[in-house]
Amino acid sequence: MKKFITVLGAMLGMIFISLSSSLAHCIWTEVPFKVEPGQEFTVSAYYAHPDYPLEERDKTSLSLVVLKPGEEMQEIVLFENPYHYDNEVSLNSPGQHFFVLERSPNRYRLSEIRDFGKSMTWVGEAGSLVHDPVGIPLEIITVKVNELANGHKELTVQVLFKGSPVSGGAIEVFQSLENDSILYDEIAEYDVPKGGKVTFTIDPSRKYVLETDHRVPAREIAGTGFAITEVRFRSTLFIGAM
């Protein structure tokens, strides 16, 4: 009996760790900041916490679309790799393109988690990081960029829920270890004040994943499952090395 209890405890501990790890995960998609028209490049999608090692990155059900100038939308098939998904794509229309990643709603006890990720690519020109919302429920947008004397950039971003500023959460900032690395360190976490705006500095030679979340009573959200009491929205903004 003692041995059984020990084994059962170990199994429950492993399940708890697995659930906790999964609950900490987010999704994000990585693309180059600038490409030439017709240039083939890789778009990658991840389900993990950005500072987790590769072996702790998981698989889940993801869908990806690219929003082209003029509001044209194209679905992109994702192929499975050991620790992520990817595909080779090319874009022909000049201007700003957005890649929007979505995970199927996932239940965790009495909560439902809805994940979104966004990244941008400029085709044929290197434009600004400033952009309008693309319309996902929870979204981080860049509203202002200041060029600093040391070559870094001061960003002001804003968190929107259903198109309106939302506060009370936090933005976690993850920076790539190198400009082409797929591994990250969490370098800062900022509380989101009234108005939803946060200002911080980035090194444009590195990649960044910004993550935030927002919790809403299930009665305010359509399409939730049976006995769900809360919906947790999570969203990321990926900024490619420039």
Predicted local confidence at residue 41, as pLDDT: 98
In this prediction, residue 23 has a pLDDT band, given cuts at 50, 70 and 90, of low
List, in sequence order, every residue forming a beta bridge with 121; answer none if it has no partner: 97
Contact status, residue 218 vs residue 230, Cβ threshold 8 Å: yes
Strand partners, 29: 45
The two tokens of residue 158 are 């804003």
Question: Rounded CA gap, 235 and 98, in Å?
Answer: 14
Instruction: Work out the percent of the chain whose per-residue pLDDT is above 90.
Output: 74
The rounded distance, in Å, linking the Cα atoms of 130 and 149 is 20
Backbone angles phi, psi at 157, to 5 degrees: -115, 160
- According to the model, what pLDDT value does residue 24 have? 67
Mean pLDDT of the chain, nearest integer: 89
Distance of CA 63 to the CA centre of its chain: 13
For residues 131 and 181, give the distance between their C-alpha atoms in angstroms, rounded to a whole number: 25
Kindly report, residue by residue over 163-209, the tens digit of the pLDDT: 999 999 999 999 999 988 889 999 999 999 999 999 999 999 999 99
